[in-house]
């Protein structure tokens, strides 16, 4: 199967997020590009954010989330 036909997404380790979009819009970007409708995209994005316990950040911009500034994120294991 060609790569462009695979239903996979890449999560980069740096904060390569669109600053003009909310956290949920960033999560929903992949389905948006694939032509998924607005309501379904939003629903999936919120579901995924809830799954990783980040639902409360759905409407924030990445620059206003605790992770963007480095505060509130767990310390690396030593």
Whether the CB-CB separation of 58 and 45 falls below 8 Å is answered with yes
pLDDT at residue 66 in the model:
55
Q: Is the pTM of this model over 0.75?
A: no
pLDDT at residue 6 in the model:
77
The residue among 64 and 73 whose pLDDT is bigger is 64
The residue among 69 and 22 whose pLDDT is bigger is 22
pLDDT at residue 16 in the model:
74
26-50 tens-digit pLDDT: 999 989 999 999 999 999 999 999 9
Average pLDDT over residues 44-62: 93
């Amino acid at each position: 199967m060609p790569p462009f036909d695979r239903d996979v997404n890449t999560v980069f380790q740096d904060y390569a997020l669109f600053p003009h979009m909310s956290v949920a819009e960033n999560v929903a970007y992949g389905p948006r590009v694939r032509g998924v409708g607005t309501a379904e995209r939003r629903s999936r994005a919120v579901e995924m954010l809830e799954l990783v316990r980040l639902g409360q950040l759905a409407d924030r911009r990445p620059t206003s989330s605790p992770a963007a500034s480095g505060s509130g994120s767990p310390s690396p294991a030593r």
